[in-house]
Chains A and B, each alone.
Chain A
Amino acid sequence: MKTYGSDRGFSGEAFVPKEDDDVIICRCEEITRGEIRKAIYDGMRTISEIRRYLRPGMGPCQGMTCERNVRGILARETGLPLSQIPGYRPRSPQRPVTLAELGNESEEEGGGV
């Protein structure tokens, strides 16, 4: 039975390109549909693996625009229902903040080098 993250064998077949492979899915990192399909072909089976391997959703917008599409591609390529595929894991600080802002705690917090 197929489940999320399972079915990791290598078929030995060549990667088959598709017509819409050059559509950009993640604008921040400029990653195309074809690159995501190729990552799945290379063995990536979870959203985290695709993100780490290729970086979609790791740019300044943190995946606001591409999450749905990447999940959709993984569902289609692996034959899993979309409901079984989780979204991106949110990471602080959620929205980019400058180092000065992030480090701006009160004096007694200490820190720095």
Chain B
Amino acid sequence: MSTKMKADVVVIGSGAVGSATAYFLAKEGKKVIVLEKGHSIGCGQSCRNGGMNKIDGRGLGELPIAIYGLKCWKDLSQDVDTEYVEKGGIRIALDDEQQEYMERFLPFGKEAGLHLQSMTGDQLREKIPEFSPRITGAIYCQEESKMNPLKTTLGIYSAARRLGVTYVSGEEVCALHTRQGRIYAAETKNGNLYEADQILVAAAYGSRQILNTVGIDLPLYSYYEEIFVTEKIPKILDQMFVSAKVTYYGEQQENGTILFGGASGFGNYPNREWYPDSYQDRKRLPAEARALVDLFPCLADTRVVRGWGGWMDISPDDSMMLGETVEIPGLFVACGFSGHGFGVSVPAAKVTSEIMCGKKPGADISHVMYDRFSKHMDMFTGADRNHLINDIQKK
């Protein structure tokens, strides 16, 4: 049984990025269909992440979008229960080298208008006494925030659905089709065809394979990360917190539970730079548990309730890939969010919806165009790609 459906826009992927774009487009009066490969809406990273909006230390190309997000998140929160709380964030150093690394961002962040404050470990503990004495320094960023990723992702879906967006789950896109050089349709494994003048590929890592069917290749890789949540405990802190190189991150949610996760890139554990393709075994959760107690010794007897993981889509410079493809007019891309995309999902969706409507985007996207790596694509194949990615990152 195969069906044919038509819409103004087809969005592939029902994560926060795809769904929020559909939501904004529906507000502009567009008829939108969202196709999701999983049974559940948002079942990719958007319902697995920590809900932290890290701005300090982001790739500079993403910064304008993150700053646009300050407005976009507040606007969205009028309509969707996001549990958005803007109480700032803390980046933590354990030694001088880490402190120096963190401070490199300061001039750029300040120029972009962020309120950043360097502090010593003691100054940090004056604010939040529970932090470990091992912490030597911190940077506080006032604009950082946290939200409930589950409620947000599914709330955006619910709001988009009310605006008339059609969602089809269990519908995996296997190919795109063009007609006279323009995008024309998305075909699914179930044998259905969805026609539209505009198609947005927002399928995280899955985007690479989908785009390959029309001859476009993006250097996207996948990377596994785990996170856990504790029982509810009395409030320790309002701010989200991350390590100097964002190898781990955590927050206390509004309901009192603590979410904590990371690449376990600490101690004897390999840093992101040393990772094999994935590092998924029983050692990870214990390593993260030790890291959290190292940061907050008072949590040793707090119980872990649940752990889970998710596959991230990583781009060579850890920044998103956006834009309408030059190769195929009408085909748009929003992927490569590199493990910190939830915080910028809504503004990235907003600018994507703006360019899809032919409007001037609310933030500068010129440094996060999808094709910025195209000249180097030959570097992004083969087994030792991680090293190549890291070489490029260091430049």
Contact = CB atoms under 8 A, between A and B. Distances in A.
Interface in A10-69: 10, 42-46, 48-49, 52-53, 55, 58-60, 62
A43 B300 contact: no
Interface stretch (B305-313, B328-336, B378-386): B305-313
A40 to B, nearest CB: 11
Contacts of B286: 102-105, 109, 111
Given A99-B230, A111-B268, A113-B291, A8 B305 contact: no
Contacts of A55: 150
A6 to B, nearest CB: 7
A55 B232 CA distance: 13
A49 to B, nearest CB: 5
Contacts of B300: 98-100
A18 B288 CA distance: 45
Interface string B119-159: 00000000000001010000000000000001101110110
Contacts of B264: 111
B287 interface: yes
A47 to B, nearest CB: 8
A48 B43 contact: yes
A48 B41 CA distance: 9
Interface residues of B, number: 55
Contact of B42 (A52, A62, A96): A52
Q: Which of A3, A53, A55, A60: most chain B CB closer than 10 A? A: A53
B169 A99 contact: no
Contact of B303 (A52, A58, A96): A96
B39 interface: yes
Contacts of A91: 306-308
Interface string B263-290: 0101111000000000000010111111
Contacts of B308: 91
A49 B19 CA distance: 15
B243 A96 contact: no
Contacts, number: 145
B293 A103 contact: yes
Contacts of A8: 41, 161, 166-169
A105 B293 CA distance: 14
Interface residues of A, number: 38
Contact of B269 (A93, A102, A110): A110
B305 A111 contact: no
A97 B303 contact: yes
B220 interface: no
A92 interface: yes
Contacts of B166: 8-9
A62 B306 contact: yes
Contact of B267 (A10, A48, A98, A110): A110
A46 B38 CA distance: 11
B304 A110 contact: no
Nearest to A91: B306
B162 interface: yes
Contacts of B293: 99-100, 103, 112
Interface in B237-255: 243, 248
30 contacts: A4-B39, A5-B170, A6-B170, A43-B157, A43-B167, A48-B40, A49-B41, A49-B154, A53-B150, A53-B151, A62-B305, A91-B308, A96-B303, A96-B305, A98-B300, A99-B299, A103-B287, A104-B286, A109-B283, A109-B286, A110-B267, A110-B268, A110-B269, A111-B268, A111-B288, A111-B290, A112-B266, A112-B267, A113-B134, A113-B243
Interface of B: 39-43, 47, 94, 132, 134, 150-151, 153-155, 157-158, 161-162, 164, 166-170, 230-231, 243, 248, 264, 266-269, 283, 285-295, 299-308
Given A99-B293, A109-B286, 6 more contacts: A5-B39, A55-B150, A99-B304, A104-B286, A105-B286, A111-B291
